[in-house]
Each structure stands twice: as structure tokens, then as C-alpha cells.
Amino acid sequence: MTEAATQSAEPEPSPGRPVVLVVDDEILLRSVVAEYLRDAGIHVVEAANGREAITVLAAGEAVDVVFSDVRMPGDVSGYDLAEWVRINRPAVRVLLASGYVGAASRSRRVGDNAPTLLPKPFDYELLLQQLRGLIGRRDSA
């Protein structure tokens, strides 16, 4: 596992504090998103790609929501990650981000538990609202 998957600028999450796994190969974007979410009181775990995210999740890391880019280098796209989460960690919610046309229609084809898709470029406040909504749905499930 690379440094990105284990990077955290804070101690372990406190009980009741939401945890979001931020997955993006663009380190600057990932860092800005992670800092914004930390400032909003969310515990953040970072991964540089889908394979790292699966490693984190398979290790049993407490995660409420995975926020991932759709297109990343390597063999695990955001859609592949969402499918892995649906099968292996069904209580975890997924929010995907994409700037590509057609991403929304593919997201709908994933199935009943389709990940939510946030179009890029996104507003950070909207991102936070989406994440809080998904965390609330997970807590009520």
C-alpha cells in the first residue's frame, strides 16, 4: 500500500464522527477535497486509485462513504470500486464524481444500489451536502 492510502492528518476517528474515503489519482484535487472535508468535521482517509481503496476497505477500515473519481489509471475504475463496495461492504455508500458525458447513464446501469454521481466541476458545499445525505441514509439503514 502506498503512502496515499494511509495518509491522514488527524488521529483515529472519534465515535460518531463520519468517515469518508476520498479516492482520486490527482493528488492536488484529492488533497483539497480532503482538507475541505476535515474542516467540516469529517474524518478522511485517502487513496490514490481504486486498487488502494479496495485494499483499505478490505482491511476493515471503518468507512461510511467512498467518494471516488470515475476515471483513474489502473485496473479499477470508480464504477469497478462501486461494484466491489456493493458486493463486499454493502453498508458503505458510494459517491462518484465525473466530468465525462455519459457517466450518469452508466451509473444508473450499475443496479438498484447505484452510486450517486456528482458532475465535475462540483461545488464543495454541494459535495458536503451529498456526503451528509449519504451518511444519513447509511445511519438510518
**Confidence band for 139, pLDDT divided at 50, 70 and 90:** low
At residue 3, the pLDDT reads 46
Per DSSP, what are the bridge partners of residue 98?
119
Q: How do residues 90-126 score in pLDDT, each as one tens digit?
A: 999 999 999 875 544 444 444 445 678 898 899 999 9
At residue 116, the pLDDT reads 82
Where do we find the cell 485517502?
46
Q: CA-CA distance, 65 to 93, in Å (whole number)? A: 5
Q: CA-CA distance, 89 to 71, in Å (whole number)? A: 21
* Predicted structure pTM score: 0.83
**Confidence band for 136, pLDDT divided at 50, 70 and 90:** confident
What is the C-alpha radius of gyration for the chain, rounded to an integer number of angstroms? 14
Closest CA to 119 of 85, 84, 94, 95: 95
Structural domains of the chain in order of their starting residue, each with its CATH number? 3-140 (3.40.50.2300)
At residue 140, the pLDDT reads 54
Of residues 99 and 19, more confidence is placed in: 19
Sequence-ordered alpha helix ranges (H) in 10-123: 27-39, 50-58, 78-88, 103-108
